[in-house]
Structure 1
Amino acid sequence: MDTVDRQILDQLTVNARTSLTDIARTISLSVPAVKRRIGRLERDGVIRGYTTIVAEPGARKLHAVVELFCAGQIQREDITRVFADRPEVLVAFTAAGDSDVVMLVQTDDTDHLESLLMDLRRHPLVSQTRSRVMLNTLMGRLTL
């Protein structure tokens, strides 16, 4: 992957529906060249998909970062079972540092978040949680 590929990815990350013509014009490349590069990035697994983010009426609106601290040595599979069946968990990462797992969660409100945290704390592998409620979205680029 080179600088031109990164420029293409930057354009698609901001808006996955950006036209090939607009990308080509922005990075001074031909439309067929942009199309070939995007195809290669898809085949190589760099671009794993495209998504639509829908804000539905009544959709969950409260986002929080939740850190899990685990008791003793844990296996990834074991700790994943703590939250795998929770639809509130949008993404979870193992982490270096104080916490063992960092999750981005989405709940209906603070009562829902509190209930989720209480459930997580009841699990024998979880010794502690720490959370931060997100106030406003400044940018929405989540790349996994």
Structure 2
Amino acid sequence: MDRASLDRIDQGILAELTRNARISHAELAAKVLLSRNAVRQRIDRMERQGYIQGYTVVAGAPGQGLVSAFLMVYRKDRVRGADVIAVLQAIPEVVLCDVVSGDFDLLVRVEARSLERIQEIWEQIAATPGVADTVTAMTLSNYVRRAAPLMPT
């Protein structure tokens, strides 16, 4: 999706939703100088077209009460490993799963309330049919954490 194909108003709507995904349609309409109904229709259209692919909740203050880890997952079959991805999608604490180049196949970020929960998730992933091996790196500190920026126009 190329955001450059969006008009100035759609880009403004995306910018406001990026700042606050819970903003009301009425408040958003006032910011972009449209009616509430027009804003709702534009949001619906951008959702259908894939410009808006979801809304995220980050519970609590960043870094407080969450333990995070990166799991590098090696699949037995890189081409037919969709079953592994399906298992990862079903785990609510998995906040990122990317297919990557290099030695391992998947980079998975897990954020959980406890180290014990990270352990349980690791055991579940390691026992998944189709997983050949895993390597885990615990997050010690988090210095940069932000939403992806909107592309400039």
TM-score (normalizing by structure 1): 0.64
Tell me, yes or no, if the aligned pair for 2:13 and 2:28 is still in contact at 8 Å.
no
State how far apart, in whole Å, the 2-side matches of 1:122 and 1:43 are: 36
Tell me, yes or no, if the aligned pair for 2:99 and 2:106 is still in contact at 8 Å.
yes
> 1:90 aligned to 2:95?
yes
- Show the counterpart of 1:31: 34
State how far apart, in whole Å, the 1-side matches of 2:134 and 2:30 are: 45
Matches within 5 A, 1:1-144: 1-2=5-6, 4=8, 5-18=10-23, 19-21=27-29, 23-24=31-32, 30-32=33-35, 35=39, 37-55=42-60, 61-80=66-85, 82-83=87-88, 86-123=91-128, 125-134=130-139, 135-136=141-142, 138-141=144-147
Aligned residues: 136
Q: In the alignment, residue 20 of structure 1 is paired with which amino acid?
A: L
Q: Give the alignment's Cα RMSD to 1 decimal.
A: 3.6
Q: In the alignment, residue 134 of structure 2 is paired with which amino acid?
A: T
State how far apart, in whole Å, the 2-side matches of 1:120 and 1:39 are: 35
Identity across the alignment (%): 24
